[in-house]
Structure 1
Amino acid sequence: MRSYPALAGLRIGCVQYLNSKPLIHGYEGPVIFDHPSGLARGLVAGQLDVALVPTFEALRTPHYTLANDVGIACAGAVYSVFLAHRGPLAELRRLALDPASLTSVHLLQVLLREYHGVRPELLPLSAFPKEADAALIIGNQAIEFRQQDKDGYQILDLGEEWKRCTGLPFVFAPWLMRPDLPHAAEVADDLRALKDYGVAHLDEIIEAEPRDPAFTRRYLTEHIRFKLGEPEKAGIAKYRELLAKHGFITDAQTPLRFA
């Protein structure tokens, strides 16, 4: 087990989803685990120094530093972020949203508005399935929903639909660092090293998971990507453009800072 000296003493936040485990697996220091939206609030409030936070937060307030070449992304079907619906999307009227990730909430609305011409009424997730025609489901809950074959719902995988519509990868969460964090480059180096360690030790992660090992391996190697390179940055730029077009953010010009 290697050490990560630049991370020592930092207040680090991470999600508890399966897709984040290779990014934090080799770290033995304290970590605050929370839903993506809770981590975003902690970063905004100054309660965290570094957090694996939804991309939307980096674009809504583009003053954070992003760790280059590490994050949670996909280049096609992501499996664990989807719209469960019945009937044609053009007839969608009431949509229940899981508020845990503002990135997925806004990604779905951008896809529906830009590529399907649909603007459904938005309801809380508790309204599904009685009052809502469809629901956005993410994370571990989404994996369980799909594996239980819930009543034959149609599944619109958001990663797959984004790739079909734009031809680009999608980045769900980068590591964000508070803007005044000292030694950001060294912190980013350690976050990349931590990713490399986790990816190299996937067998340990898979063995520790209660889920089917074959599914876990497929999910972490085929559905999820941990890179944030030039194609992923192009995906972020396209998402930012569409967020601004549909009025979800006001600043689409401030350059993002990568370390």
Structure 2
Amino acid sequence: MMAYVLGVPLYANTAPLYRFLEPDGWTLRYGVPSELNQQVRSGEIGLSLVSSYFYLKHQEELALLPDFSVAVLGRVYSVNLFHRGELAHLKRVALTTESATSVALLKLLLREQGLAPRYERAEGGLELLEAYDGVLLIGDRAIQAYARLLPALPETPHALPTRFGEVGVEDLSMLWFARTKLPFVFAVWAYRKENPPPKALVAALRRARRLGLARLGKVAEAEARRLGVHPALMEHYLWNFRYHLEEPDRLGLSAFAEALGLPFAPMYYSE
């Protein structure tokens, strides 16, 4: 019997969900959200963390685990528009190729501010600011870019800066919070409706999350070493996340769907 395939974006913010997952008839497949999205839709992967935008676009085919999310209320630190000069002067923006959700959110937020820069897909990091007015980075690449700009770690996260000389940092989750006062859901566990995951796997994921959150300091230390950032910055980054798709998160996901002109009629996993 083939092992059940579970899709996981290899980002620091997903580590608390799977770091302590015990292998028992399933295997992990790592990839960026744009890859995993398509693989779960094609059936190549049984269950995967998928981007919320992808889920909303294909919810007639997909169902959700009802109590899992990767969401944030306020600053997320790893979905950032780095830009030169003032935001109002954006003309060309380089977009990450890793996630459609962040791209859709950026376009929505800028459009509502009356801004319509030219968007171009581009691979790279902050060096793209040599050719573009702004660059959208997500996940590990975004947190590493922010950490490199940070001259020193302040005593409190409230003092973390959002401008470094001529380079400004717009945190998209914070802009969403200012707009809605709701969390932003970046990812959910989803699967094709006709192929629900084994109950034992769902139970194992819940155990793994419980252990990951109970040992968040250890998870943060490991991820900080992997990415080469300060452990205290990584710890603050991880404890900021909401991993349970609670009612405020569902309201945030519904508000994102409404802003995109999409329905929100989720089908949840049946125990």
Query: How high is the TM-score relative to the length of structure 2?
Result: 0.83
SS class of match (2:37): helix
Superposition pairs of residues 52-201 of structure 1, within 5 angstroms? 52-62=49-59, 63-114=61-112, 116-126=113-123, 128-149=128-149, 152=165, 153-182=167-196, 187-201=201-215
Distance 1:170 1:178, change over 3 A: same
Q: Deviations over 1:206-235 (max 9, x none)?
A: 3323042212211111x3221211100111
| Pair 1:254–1:213, CA change in 2 (3 A) | closer
Structure 1 letter corresponding to 2:233: F
Is 2:10 the counterpart of 1:16? yes
Describe the SS at the equivalent of 1:253.
coil
Structure 1 CA distance, aligned partners of 2:209 and 2:14? 10
Change (3 A) 1:160 1:190: same
3-state SS of 1:144 partner: helix
> Residues of 1 paired with 2:186 and 2:62: CA distance?
16
Q: 1:215 aligns with which of 207, 230, 233?
A: 233
Query: Which of 20, 34, 40 is equivalent to 1:26?
Result: 20
* Cα distance per residue 1:116-143 (max 9 Å; x no partner): 1112111122482233210101111111
From 218, 242, 253, give the equivalent of 1:225: 242
Tell me the C-alpha RMSD between the 2 structures: 2.0
Does residue 243 (structure 1) correspond to residue 269 (structure 2)? The answer is no
C-alpha separation in 2, matches of 1:189 and 1:143: 31
Mapped pair 1:39 → 2:36: yes
AA matched with 2:134: A
Q: Does the residue aligned with 2:88 lie in a helix, a strand or coil?
A: helix
Structure 1 stretches of 5 or more lacking a match?
1-7, 245-251
Please, which runs of 5 or more residues in structure 2 have no aligned partner?
151-163
For these two proteins, the number of residue pairs brought into alignment is 243
Distance 1:257 1:218, change over 3 A: same
Instruction: Report the AA paired with residue 36 of structure 1.
Output: P
Structure 2 CA distance for partners of 1:167 and 1:185, relative to 1, 3 Å: farther
What CA deviation, in whole Å up to 9, does each residue of 1:128-164 have, x standing for no partner?
Answer: 2233210101111111111111863100001111001
Percent identity over the alignment is: 34
What's the TM-score, normalizing by structure 1? 0.87
List, as ranges, runs of 4+ consecutive aligned residues in structure 1 with deviation greater than 6 Å: none
Aligned counterparts of 1:64 and 1:146: Cα–Cα separation in 2: 34
Question: What secondary structure, in the 3-state scheme, does the structure 2 residue paired with 1:258 have?
Answer: coil
